[in-house]
Structure 1
Amino acid sequence: MNEHVQTAASGPLFNHLSADFIHDPYPHYARLRATDPVHLTPFGTYVVSRHAEVSLVLRDKRFGKDFVERSKRRYGSQIMDESLFHNMAQTILQTDPPQHTRLRNLVVKAFTARRVEDMRPRIQQVVDQALDAIVDRGRMDLVADFAYRLPVTIICDMLGIPQEHREVFHTSSGDSVRILESVPLTPEETKQGNARVQMAQMYFQQLFDLRRRNPGDDLTTQLVQAEEDGNKLTNEELTANIMLLFIAGHETTINLIGNSLLALHRNPDQLSLLKANPSLIANAIDEFLRFEPSVQFTGRVALEDIDDLGGKKIPKGESVLCLLGSANRDPAVYPDRPDCLDITRKNIKPLSFGGGIHFCLGAQLARIEVEIAINTLLRRLPGLRIDDVENPEWRPNLVLRGPKRLPASW
């Protein structure tokens, strides 16, 4: 029996498809770190679980995305004819330099720190409006009634999506992240994804034309107008990256708000501490990101032969899955109770927003949204209680982790 593929009695060392893993992946991560920290899975992907190796892979230029070739190896050479895959290949998330450099230089101009910081009053308004709508009920679902509404509204505001058009985006966005999952798409899922992409392309083409004629104070206008050394985003690149900003701008933040609230209510001492000391919120957010990140995995490909990654040779072209959730609890970096929530923890350096050239553009926005959402909720509903903190229903996604619903009362 190959010790790097199986343990003696418990089956595959890394089985992220199991219900047990989805419920609580962290014991599985600990076993990987201790047993085989650079693990070759039965499906041919290297899984990296320690902080040192994950951090290296995220930042080392010998690793890249190589999305097109990786997709062809997985699905066949014809896969890039599918709209869903062709669209994803145009995004900053899945490109390597020099294309990534050009795209990011254009997109980052429309996503400045000042612009995001200026969103604070609007974020506070949206949070207060969400609470105003439900405060007299005495009950709500913290995901659907609270966590969901804030980031969706804010990213629609930032992109300049008219109010009357938003419902379509709200109801269709949840399954758009399946292409990022480690489980291959079925032909039917690919077909559905193609249809969504084609509809979005039609819609955004009209929006781009409108913003060229009538510029507004929004990201879409800035991206339409953005130039770098005389280059502009093509219509394909515009559509792909606007869609990416929309999905990334709310999916991960919904999960982060839900994960943070659940973690606090599972740790009443930390909840009481934050209620008594709201100024701890910035450090608390770092700890939430470390303790229960909304993005659990991110992938890279070896762009050349790697002689030594945690004692393993990684051949050129092989896929490497970085377990961010595992790296964030590595006792080599966090020796003081890494599996415990501690909002006063010092020197927190979570890898939850990635690293290197693919560090998340929306990190600052997510932090501000979570900060305002949680502090406002604790201030306005101090008696809030989550119905079942021990057995929440988790979303079935593997890459993006968050509760599907969190019924609560006050």
Structure 2
Amino acid sequence: MNEQVQPAGGNPLFNPLSPDFIRDPYPHYERLRTLDPVHLTPFGQFVTSRHADVSLVLRDKRFGKDFVERSKRRYGDKIMDEPVFRSMGHWMLQADPPDHTRLRGLVVKAFTARRVEDMRPRIQEIVDQTIDAAIERGHMDLIEDFAFRLPVTIICDMLGIPEEHRETFYKSSRDGGRLLDPVPLSPEEIRKGNEGNLMAQMYFRQLFELRRKNPGDDLITQLVQAEEDGSKLTNEELTANIILLFGAGHETTVNLIGNGLLALHRNPDQLALLKARPELMPGAIEEFLRYDSSVQMTGRVALEDIDDLGGVRIPKGETVLCLLGSANRDPAVYPDRPDRLDVTRQNVKPLSFGGGIHFCLGAQLARIEAEIAIATLLRRLPDLRIDDVENPQWRPTFVLRGLTRLPASW
């Protein structure tokens, strides 16, 4: 991936899949904010890295998703024949009003503050069971054995996935993240995406049949009933958005827990402080979100000509990539050493959950899951050590930032 803008030293300014960038994107962001805050990539996308510009694009109605046209421009007209792209085209995450408003309206009730707050005992129970299962062994992988199990179980509960089907989901691979990256997918990656998508469609369609016959108090039952009221939901939309909710419902939370635990163990003073003062945990979660966001980027399309975004003109139809991870460390908003982890930091308002009409539905659920998971781990395994805090294994994706594994022992 060659760049047109070469800073001194000849390294490309924005090369998000390079191993160096994946390991630590933050120095790269700092260069972007300083040298070229609205940067044009060779793929013709504009990349915004400052907090002010990112916030504006997320909330301004002159920007939208325009997913189908955006995909055709990148891959050619035939791309929407690919099952995985057709499915993504129905995601509320990729939809503009009025479709977005209709789709989100159908699921928003499952994520109200009240309903999420009521899940605390269940979340605590799952975290305790997970630790109970590993405590005698004296070691575990904090991603697969700990962070992964909790949000997958909770999203299975919410969707009404029967207990006897869940083992498959606990073992399911986490390689879908590339679908969201700003670097075009290879034919092989599209083929793998299609395979995974078709498997998921087959499974969920069987589950919809089950819920039509045996309704439950779960989100799939609620959506199947909305589908029968034809005006609200087609079968394709139903399937696509369940796949989205399943993925979004665990991916980002796994990363939030993993990235948060790594950050704490890389900053022993903050770890000690949090152990001594567990009441700091809710604020610490906001700081983890800010410091090393699970979602590093989101994109929008200019729905009209934009004359001045950070001093740059954006023509109608062009893509703008918003670097959430960069905005979260912008010294203009966090003047007090933004590159430092500080669990007592005040007025932390991370952009990690996006903004505007696409603000993450599950934001509150993710916060509570991470809060209970990390607090319980620190309380029950106070002498836990991460085997290698210096060179952990990062997943080879950029938009979803997280670890492949994080072995630890006690």
TM-score by length of 1: 0.96
In structure 2, the residue corresponding to 1:361 is in which secondary structure? Answer: coil
Q: How many angstroms apart in 2 are the aligned matches of 1:3 and 1:67?
A: 25
The equivalent residue for 1:219 is 219
Distance 1:347 1:113 in 2: 21
Quick check: 1:392–1:403 contact (8 Å CA) kept in 2? Answer: yes
Unaligned runs of 5+ residues in structure 2 are none
Cα distance in 2 for partners of 1:316, 1:228 equals 38
Paired with 2:121 and 2:226, the residues of 1 have a C-alpha distance of 26
The letter for the 1-side match of 2:309 is: L
Alignment partners' CA distance in 1, 2:251 and 2:182? 17
Aligned to 1:353: 353
- CA–CA distance in structure 2, aligned partners of residues 41 and 136 of structure 1: 51
Give the deviation of 1:86 after TM superposition: 0.5
Aligned to 1:138: 138
Partner residue, 1:265: 265
Instruction: Tell me how far 1:229 sits from its aligned partner.
Output: 9.7
* Structure 1 match to 2:87: 87
**1:18 to partner: Cα distance:** 1.6
Number of the residue aligned with 1:169: 169
Partner residue, 1:39: 39
Task: Give the secondary structure class of the aligned counterpart of 1:6.
Answer: coil
User: Distance in 2 between the 1:201 and 1:24 partners?
Assistant: 35
Tell me whether 1:100 sits opposite 2:100 in the alignment: yes
Supply the distance in 2 between the matched residues of 1:229 and 1:276 (Cα, whole angstroms): 54
In the aligned structure 2, how far is the partner of 1:281 from the partner of 1:350?
Answer: 16
In 2, Cα distance between equivalents of 1:15 and 1:252: 22
Equivalent-residue separation in structure 1 for 2:285 and 2:67 (angstroms):
31
Partner of 2:405: 405
- Work out whether residues 149 and 170 of structure 2, in 8 Å CA contact, stay in contact via their aligned partners in 1: no
Q: What are the within-5 Å matches in structure 2 for residues 2-401 of structure 1?
A: 5-226=5-226, 231-401=231-401
- Give the CA deviation at 1:9: 2.2
* Residue 192 of structure 1, CA deviation: 2.4
Whether the 8 Å contact between 2:65 and 2:95 is mirrored in structure 1 is yes
Q: Please state how far the C-alpha of 1:321 moved relative to its aligned partner.
A: 0.8
Is the contact made by 1:111 and 1:219 (CA closer than 8 Å) also made in structure 2? no
Deviation of 1:54 (Å): 0.3
Letter in 2 for 1:359: F
Aligned partners of 1:106 and 1:227 also within 8 Å: no
C-alpha distance in structure 1 between counterparts of 2:302 and 2:225, whole Å: 35
Partner amino acid for 1:339?
D
Alpha carbons 1:105, 1:228 under 8 Å: kept: no
Query: What CA deviation, in whole Å up to 9, does each residue of 1:150-182 have, x standing for no partner?
Result: 111111111111122223333335122321112
Q: In the aligned structure 2, how far is the partner of 1:384 from the partner of 1:327?
A: 32
For the aligned residues, what is the CA RMSD? 1.7
Q: Cα deviations across residues 232-290 of structure 1 (Å, max 9, x unaligned)?
A: 22111111111101000111111110000001111111111111111111100000000
Question: Per the alignment, in what secondary structure is the counterpart of residue 125 of structure 1?
Answer: helix
Question: In the alignment, residue 401 of structure 1 is paired with which amino acid?
Answer: R
CA shift digits 1:24-45 (9 cap, x unpaired):
1100000110111001112211
Aligned-partner SS, 1:15: coil
TM superposition shift of 1:8? 3.2
Instruction: Tell me the SS of whatever aligns to 2:111.
Output: coil
What is the CA–CA distance in structure 1 between the aligned matches of 2:389 and 2:105, rounded to whole Å?
Answer: 43
Q: Residue 331 and residue 90 in structure 1: after superposition, are their counterparts in 2 closer, same or farther (change >3 A)?
A: same
Task: Determine helix, strand or coil for the equivalent of 1:313.
Answer: strand
Contact 2:111 2:365 (8 Å CA) reproduced: no
Secondary structure of the 2:175 match is helix
After TM superposition, the score normalised by the length of structure 2 is 0.96
**How far apart, in 1, do the equivalents of 2:11 and 2:343 lie?**
36
The letter for the 2-side match of 1:320 is V
Aligned AA for 2:222? Q
Question: How far is the alpha carbon of 1:140 from its aligned partner?
Answer: 1.2
Larger mean CA deviation between 172-181 and 292-301 belongs to 172-181
Alpha-carbon contact 1:144-1:405 (below 8 Å) kept? yes
Task: Indicate the SS of the match to 2:169.
Answer: helix
